[in-house]
């Protein structure tokens, strides 16, 4: 999820329990809730086309969580000397573990069992920026200022986190329902899918994006749970069978992209000789319809030589 969601979650976790040293507890748990995203800084420092591969891998794995929490507890122990190492470690593990659990909810996923496995674990039931989560987590902060007896901060935090859990369960149920709606729509159309994907759309869990692959063609659907409908929007052809694309896909970089992408679309760039492009339908919202798609990469093929990848400048 986005940093705002992680920050608000850390604040509410820190507000659980007695009022004694609550402010300090909030700071510690909020820090822990943001800690796994240090890999974003690493990705920026690497500054390579595929540096995003380190995102949600090393610091979002079980082993990475344990190591980073121990290091953070040792450092904080020199600052917050009245807390034991065990106490600081517990808070670091709590905040960072909840962070990773929240990140599993969206389509990007996390490499949870790295380095034993490079498989990305993802539920794909919530968009990376969810305003409903913001509202649920921010509500106690606003209610605390109202003169209506909302003085028990801990109870407000418990209520907020309980509602968040119910909302997340609802998101999971919505994703399951969206798959059923899409499958029923395909039966009515008489379409057979070689592969079926469902990705969350922004602004809430009542809409999902369905992508089914038949041969070399994806069919995209906007799934509306409130209307129990899956509306066909367009087709996307993937030119993975082209000789040049087959050559590209033999390179180490392209194999990394194939590993990361869920629904890759390969195509020759129009009007440019020998340039080929790949993107992932997982990150191409039907509602936002952005002109620039994240995680889009280009390659140049000259004879048997492959150059790239690089990001298009548009």
For the chain, the structural domain boundaries read 3-122, 176-237, 243-310
What pTM did the predictor assign? 0.92
What integer pLDDT is reported at residue 87 of this predicted model?
Answer: 94
What integer pLDDT is reported at residue 145 of this predicted model?
Answer: 64
For 47, residues 6+ apart whose C-beta sits below 8 A from its C-beta are none
Cα dihedral value 250, 256, 258, 263, nearest 10: -150
225: left (phi over 0), alpha (psi -120 to 50) or beta: alpha
What integer pLDDT is reported at residue 279 of this predicted model?
Answer: 93
Q: How far is CA 144 from the centre of its chain?
A: 31
Distances (CA, A) of 262 to 5, 66, 280: 25, 29, 7
Q: What kind and span of H or E run contains 302?
A: strand 297-302
What integer pLDDT is reported at residue 150 of this predicted model?
Answer: 53
Distance CA 194, CA 178 (A): 18
Structural tokens at position 177: 């329902």
Distance CA 239, CA 137 (A): 44
Spell out, as residue ranges, where the chain has pLDDT lower than 70.
144-151, 314
Structural tokens at position 93: 């593990």
- Please report where in the chains the tokens 């004694």 appear, as a residue: 20
Q: Strand locations in 161-237, DSSP E?
A: 195-200, 207-214, 217-224, 229-237
Distance CA 290, CA 277 (A): 17
Distance CA 142, CA 138 (A): 7
């Amino acid at each position: 999820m986005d940093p705002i969601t992680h920050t608000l979650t850390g604040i509410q976790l820190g507000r659980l329990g007695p009022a004694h040293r609550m402010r300090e507890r909030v700071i510690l748990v909020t820090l822990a809730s943001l800690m796994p995203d240090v890999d974003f800084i690493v990705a920026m420092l690497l500054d390579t086309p595929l540096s995003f591969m380190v995102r949600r891998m090393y610091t979002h794995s079980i082993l990475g969580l344990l190591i980073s929490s121990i290091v953070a507890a040792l450092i904080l122990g020199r600052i917050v000397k009245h807390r034991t190492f065990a106490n600081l470690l517990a808070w670091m593990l709590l905040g960072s573990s909840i962070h990773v659990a929240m990140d599993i909810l969206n389509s990007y996923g996390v490499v949870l069992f790295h380095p034993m496995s490079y498989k990305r674990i993802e539920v794909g039931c919530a968009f990376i920026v969810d305003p409903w989560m913001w509202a649920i987590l921010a509500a106690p902060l606003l209610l605390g200022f109202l003169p209506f007896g909302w003085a028990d901060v801990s109870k407000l935090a418990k209520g907020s986190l309980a509602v968040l859990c119910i909302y997340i369960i609802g998101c999971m149920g919505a994703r399951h329902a969206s798959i059923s709606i899409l499958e029923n729509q395909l039966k009515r159309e008489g379409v057979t899918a070689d592969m079926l994907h469902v990705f969350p759309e922004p602004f809430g869990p009542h809409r999902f994006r369905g992508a089914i692959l038949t041969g070399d063609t994806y069919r995209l659907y906007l799934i509306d749970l409130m209307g129990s409908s899956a509306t066909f929007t367009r087709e996307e052809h993937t030119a993975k069978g082209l000789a040049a694309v087959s050559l590209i896909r033999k390179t180490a970089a392209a194999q990394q992209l194939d590993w990361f992408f869920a629904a890759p679309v390969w195509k020759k760039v129009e009007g440019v000789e020998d340039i080929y492009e790949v993107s992932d339908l997982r990150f191409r919202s039907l509602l936002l319809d952005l002109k620039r798609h994240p995680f889009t990469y280009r390659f140049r093929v000259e004879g048997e030589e492959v150059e790239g990848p690089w990001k298009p400048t548009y």
